[in-house]
Amino acid sequence: MYRPLRVKVRMDFKGVGKPGRFLFGGKPSDKAAEDLREQQVSVFRNVPIQGIQVEDIDMSAEVYTVHDEVNNAEVAYAPVILQLRAETLEDVVRFIARDDFRKIEIIDPPNMSLSKYDVERLLFRVAEEMRVYRSLLERKLNNR
């Protein structure tokens, strides 16, 4: 039996502002980012994820904005830090394969040793997540 992993994962949720019609209905990018963060945190709190236990959710980091060179617009990001307990390293892959993933810190164990079999399973899981991500992107692009 493996010892569970404890990790901190930082995700920055991107908010793109929507211009309003006339004087009403617009949403600034920072508000859009905050709303998306709230929505995602609600999912993390309420939807069970196999092999993952959410221990803590830190939303205290301030929303920040950067200039998007491609769209020539300001884009806001709302950070959140999830502290997770994972049964296996493969269970963590679904978090790092996301667009909003920024950083991971392994809290426990301080040292890990992976067998050939463990590395093969991990690489298989990464490839699987990439296939899922690619198919989502293709669907998104085809629906435009």
Q: Domain spans of the chain?
A: 5-111
Could you tell me the fold of the domain covering 5-111?
Alpha-Beta Plaits (3.30.70)
- pLDDT over 50 at 2, yes or no: yes
57-91 pLDDT tens trace: 999 999 999 988 887 888 899 999 999 999 988 89
Residue-level pLDDT at 1: 43
Kindly report the pTM of this predicted structure: 0.82
pLDDT above 60: residue 53 = yes
Give the span between the Cα atoms of 5 and 105, in whole angstroms. Answer: 11
CA distance 6 to 106: 6
- 18 pLDDT higher than 80: no
- Does the structure show a pLDDT above 80 at 107? yes
> 79 Cβ partners below 8 Å, 6+ apart?
10, 11, 12, 13, 37, 59, 61, 62, 63, 64, 102
What is the arithmetic mean of pLDDT over 94-109?
A: 92
